[in-house]
Structure 1
Amino acid sequence: MERLLSGQPQHTDGKLTKNNLCREAGISRATMNRAPELLTEWDARTATSPAGRHHQRHTEELAELRGKLRKSRDQCHALQEQVDAAATVIMTLLAENASLREHATGRSAAVIPIPLSRGQATRE
C-alpha cells in the first residue's frame, strides 16, 4: 500500500486502484476482500495521499479539457453550418448573376433618348 500511495509502485502502473493494491501486495482480490478494515484504510488514505491528490487533479484537468474540446467541436460544427449556408447563397447569386448577364446581352445596345417633359426648358 505504501508503494502505491507514495507513487513508487514496483509491480503495477501506479494507478490507485484496488486491483493494483492486490498486485503490489501479491495477493488475490478475494483475499483482499476478506479484510474490510484494509479496504476502509485504503479508501481513507487514497483520498489524502500525494498520489491520490495528483490523480484527482489529473482527473479534474482531464474533465475540463474534455469540456473545452466538446465546446470547440460544437463551435466548429456551427461555423461549418454557416460556411455551408454561405456557399449555398453564393451559388444562388452566381446563377442569378449569370442569368442576368445572359438576359442583358440579348437586349439591343441602342441608346434610346428619353423625351423631356413639356414643362422643362432645355439647357443651352
Structure 2
Amino acid sequence: MPVSAVTTTKLREAMARLLAGEPLHTNGALTKENLAREAQVSHATVHRAEDILAEWDAKVARPVLRSPGEVERDETIAKLRRQLRDSRSEVTELQGKFDALAVVAANLYHENLALKRKLGNSRRLASLPAPAAEPDVVRTDG
C-alpha cells in the first residue's frame, strides 16, 4: 500500500534536512528510524514508501566514517567500561569476603560471651609461666 502525497512530501523534506545536517526532530543520525521521526510518521509508513526508501538507501548506503578523535573517544569509553566492570566485580568479591568475616567476628563475640558466662564470677585465670632467661653466652673464639 503506497503512502499519500502529503506523507511523501514529509518524508522528502525530512530526508533533505537529515542529509543537510539540519534536523528538527532528531539527533541527526542517518538512520531510517530518524527519517521516520524527522518526518513525524511511523516507522512502518517509511517502509511502505518504497521509492523514498530506495532514494534513501542510494544516498546513505556509504559507511559512516568516524574521525580519529571519535575513534579514540570510543576506545577510551570501551576501556573505561571494562575497568568499571572489573572494579564492580572486585567490589562484589570483597563485599562477600567482608560479610563472611563479619559473620566470623559475630560468632567469636557470642562464643566469648558464652565462655565468660560459663566462668561466672570465678575469675581463676591461669597465669602463663615467664620465659626462662638464657644465660649470657661468652664467646672465646677470637
Distance 1:110 1:23 in 2: 83
Q: Secondary structure at the match of 2:61?
A: helix
Give the match for residue 65 of structure 2: 48
Indicate which of 23, 26, 30 corresponds to 1:12: 26
The residue correspondences of 1:22-61 to structure 2 (distance < 5 A) are 22-24=36-38, 28-29=45-46, 30-31=48-49, 33-34=50-51, 35-36=53-54, 38-44=56-62, 47-48=64-65
Alpha-carbon distance change, 103 to 11 in structure 1, aligned in 2, over 3 angstroms: closer
1:88 has 2:106 as partner: no
Unaligned runs of 5+ in 2: 1-14, 127-142
Report the alpha carbon displacement of residue 42 of structure 1 after superposing the two structures with TM: 0.6
Judge conservation of contact 1:4–1:14 (CA < 8 Å) in 2.
Answer: yes
- Change in Cα spacing, 1:93 to 1:75, as seen in structure 2 (3 Å) is same
* Contact residue 5 and residue 49 of structure 1 kept, 8 A: no
TM-score, reference length from structure 1: 0.54
Ranges in structure 1 where 5+ consecutive residues have no aligned partner:
112-124
Secondary structure at the counterpart of residue 25 of structure 2: coil
- Which amino acid in the other structure matches residue 38 of structure 1? W
Query: Are the structure 2 counterparts of residues 92 and 49 from structure 1 closer, same or farther at C-alpha, using a change threshold of 3 Å?
Result: closer
Q: Distance in 2 between matches of 1:14 and 1:22?
A: 12
Paired residue for 2:113, among 98, 107, 112? 98
Q: Which structure has the higher relative contact order (CA within 8 Å, separation 6+)? A: 1
Higher helix share: 1
